[in-house]
């Protein structure tokens, strides 16, 4: 493997750390700010940097020709993915959210078969089946109650308990409803992320990285302005909430830059494997920061999803070389 490829894989690993750090900070920051407000601040910075990058390179901000349509679609669908992801981070354990949202390679394989005429044979079908089984183990629906005691049936970390206490609804029904909404958001986020990925491939090389980032930022800013949640400014005199918000913005942007550059340098197969580090970091942060300890079903399901996603990415890479 060349030095260029090794450096690309290192950048992807660092991107996984930055993205996991950003998700951890979002979970901490959701105690002070609504998720839409966090997204608005984050993408205002991204829009500014992306617009300046397009200006410096002398390219149209939203690309040209047929690519422009797919750049706009990528921005709109990607913004939905961000909304779903941030809401699920707020309501679910960090490890569960990361595992579910990283199912997007499976959904991308399905979209790729219809939109890009990519092969979808027995291997891809088997991967989806195994991934669905893993998702069931992670989400732990009610029919798996016999595999675990009542204490472990609803997996809840400290941040989720704080959220419920703020709402003054501490009972099994509210916990179950909140978890269900979080799970639905996580799955929808993974589906939207997969469609956004295929949209980037449909746009092709005519669309620059800055085009996609600007489209995503503008779409997210537009939908954030509908103010689905009230605008909040902490008034306790502490700088702590604003420090978290600032760290979210810069860690998320750094993660995107490292990931996109790393994917350009590293081979697709090994690069996909390095993305698995994001799930590993999410488990560590969930345990040491939020004190959320996964049970054996979550661990088993996570291992299945990680293995299947990595295997599918490796198979796509090997088939592309042949």
Supply the angle between the helices 277-288 and 94-101 in degrees, to the nearest 10: 170
pLDDT of 259 reads 78
3-state class of 157 per DSSP?
Answer: coil
Q: Which of 245, 230, 253, 213 is nearest to 57 (CA)?
A: 213
pLDDT of 61 reads 94
The C-alpha atoms of residue 75 and residue 79 are separated, in whole angstroms, by: 6
pLDDT of 164 reads 46
202 is in which domain, residue-wise? 3-321
pLDDT of 211 reads 92
pLDDT of 83 reads 93
For residue 244, count other CB atoms closer than 10 A to its CB: 21
Per-residue pLDDT of the chain (322 residues; tens, 9 = 90+): 678 878 888 888 898 899 999 999 999 998 888 888 899 999 999 999 999 999 999 999 999 888 999 999 999 999 999 999 999 998 888 888 888 888 887 888 888 888 888 888 888 889 888 888 888 888 776 555 545 544 444 444 555 545 545 544 444 556 678 888 999 999 999 999 889 988 988 888 888 888 999 999 999 999 988 765 566 777 767 888 999 999 999 999 898 888 777 766 776 556 666 667 888 888 889 889 988 878 888 888 888 888 887 777 777 666 665 5
Q: Based on the structure, what is the number of domains in the chain? A: 1
Buried b (16+ CB within 10 A) or exposed e, 115-144: eeebeeeeebeebbebbeebbebbbbeeee
């Amino acid at each position: 493997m060349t030095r260029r490829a090794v450096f690309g894989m290192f950048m992807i690993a660092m991107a996984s750390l930055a993205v996991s750090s950003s998700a951890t900070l979002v979970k901490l920051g959701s105690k002070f700010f609504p998720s839409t407000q966090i997204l608005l601040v984050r993408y205002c910075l991204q829009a500014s940097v992306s617009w300046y990058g397009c200006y410096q390179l002398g390219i149209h901000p939203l690309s040209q020709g047929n690519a422009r349509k797919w750049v706009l679609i990528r921005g709109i669908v990607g913004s939905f993915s961000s909304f779903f992801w941030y809401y699920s981070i707020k309501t679910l354990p960090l490890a569960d959210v990361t595992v579910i949202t990283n199912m997007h390679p499976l959904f991308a394989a399905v979209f790729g078969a219809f939109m890009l005429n990519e092969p979808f044979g027995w291997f891809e079908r088997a991967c989806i089946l195994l991934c669905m089984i893993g998702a069931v183990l992670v989400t732990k629906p009610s029919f798996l109650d016999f595999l675990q005691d009542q204490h472990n049936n609803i997996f809840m970390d400290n941040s989720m308990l704080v959220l419920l206490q703020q709402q003054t609804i501490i009972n099994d029904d509210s916990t179950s409803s909140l978890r269900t909404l979080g799970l639905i958001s996580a799955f929808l986020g993974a589906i939207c992320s997969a469609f956004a990925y295929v949209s980037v491939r449909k746009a092709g090389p005519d669309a620059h990285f800055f085009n996609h980032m600007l489209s995503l930022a503008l779409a997210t800013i537009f939908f954030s302005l509908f103010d689905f949640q009230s605008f909040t400014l902490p008034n306790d005199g502490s700088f702590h909430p604003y420090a978290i918000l600032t760290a979210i913005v810069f860690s998320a942007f750094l993660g995107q830059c490292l990931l996109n550059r790393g994917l350009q340098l590293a081979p697709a197969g090994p690069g996909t494997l390095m993305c698995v580090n994001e799930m590993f970091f999410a488990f560590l942060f969930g345990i040491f920061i939020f004190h959320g300890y996964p049970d054996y079903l979550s661990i088993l399901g996570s291992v299945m999803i990680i293995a299947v996603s990595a295997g599918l990415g490796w198979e796509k890479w090997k088939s592309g070389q042949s």
